[in-house]
């Protein structure tokens, strides 16, 4: 788990420019969903070839792109993976449009991605990679549902 990082809330993300307004775009949102689907495929291929860390990373990237699609549709752009989750909390969880478990899962796999990239002793086991892929598939499906509302 990543420690020592200052935790921002939605307002901090906006003030620091880590979330910023852009013109809303269904086209860009749909492109981000297609990217999420491609990362799901990549995660499955990596899992099949026993590249467990790569599979977990690909699973996280699927979640990242699916969540980004929501921001693009709403007219926002992120400059921080962390702030995507804060956006979903503020704009969807607080309004009861999204269950908080999805934000918690996004944060969890974002932290694992960070560990995998920056901790030289980090290792992803097969069961963790399988769980990440299962979670990513469910997350992408939930974000697609959210995009329809």
Q: How many CA atoms lie within 13 A of 134 on its CB side?
A: 6
Given this model, what pLDDT does residue 6 score? Answer: 56
Mean pLDDT over each residue of the chain, to the nearest integer: 93
User: What mean pLDDT comes out for the span 85-110?
Assistant: 96
User: What mean pLDDT comes out for the span 132-143?
Assistant: 98
pLDDT band at 2; cut points 50, 70, 90: very low
User: What mean pLDDT comes out for the span 123-144?
Assistant: 95
Measured between alpha carbons, how far is 84 from 69 in angstroms, rounded to an integer?
10
* Residues 17-27 pLDDT 10s: 999 999 999 99
pLDDT of residue 135 exceeding 70, the answer is: yes
Given this model, what pLDDT does residue 101 score? Answer: 98
Given this model, what pLDDT does residue 93 score? Answer: 97
pLDDT band at 4; cut points 50, 70, 90: very low
Measured between alpha carbons, how far is 86 from 107 in angstroms, rounded to an integer?
9
pLDDT of residue 1 exceeding 50, the answer is: no
Measured between alpha carbons, how far is 60 from 39 in angstroms, rounded to an integer?
8
* Residues 53-68 pLDDT 10s: 999 999 999 999 999 9
Question: Which CATH code, of 3.40.640.10, 1.20.120.330, 1.20.140.10, 2.40.50.140, is assigned to 23-148?
Answer: 1.20.120.330
Measured between alpha carbons, how far is 39 from 68 in angstroms, rounded to an integer?
14
């Amino acid at each position: 788990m990543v420690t020592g990082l200052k935790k921002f809330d939605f307002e901090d993300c906006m003030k620091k420019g880590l979330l910023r307004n852009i013109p809303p775009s269904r086209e860009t949102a749909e492109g981000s969903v297609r990217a999420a689907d491609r990362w799901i495929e990549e995660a499955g291929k990596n899992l099949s070839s026993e590249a467990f860390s790569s599979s977990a990373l690909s699973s996280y990237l699927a979640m990242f792109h699916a969540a980004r699609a929501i921001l693009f549709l709403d007219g926002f752009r992120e400059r921080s993976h962390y702030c995507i989750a804060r956006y979903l909390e503020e704009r969807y969880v607080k309004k009861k449009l999204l269950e908080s478990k999805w934000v918690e899962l996004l944060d969890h796999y974002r932290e694992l991605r960070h560990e995998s990239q920056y901790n030289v002793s980090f290792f992803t086991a097969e069961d963790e990679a399988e769980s990440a892929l299962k979670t990513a598939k469910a997350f992408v499906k939930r974000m697609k549902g959210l995009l329809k509302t």
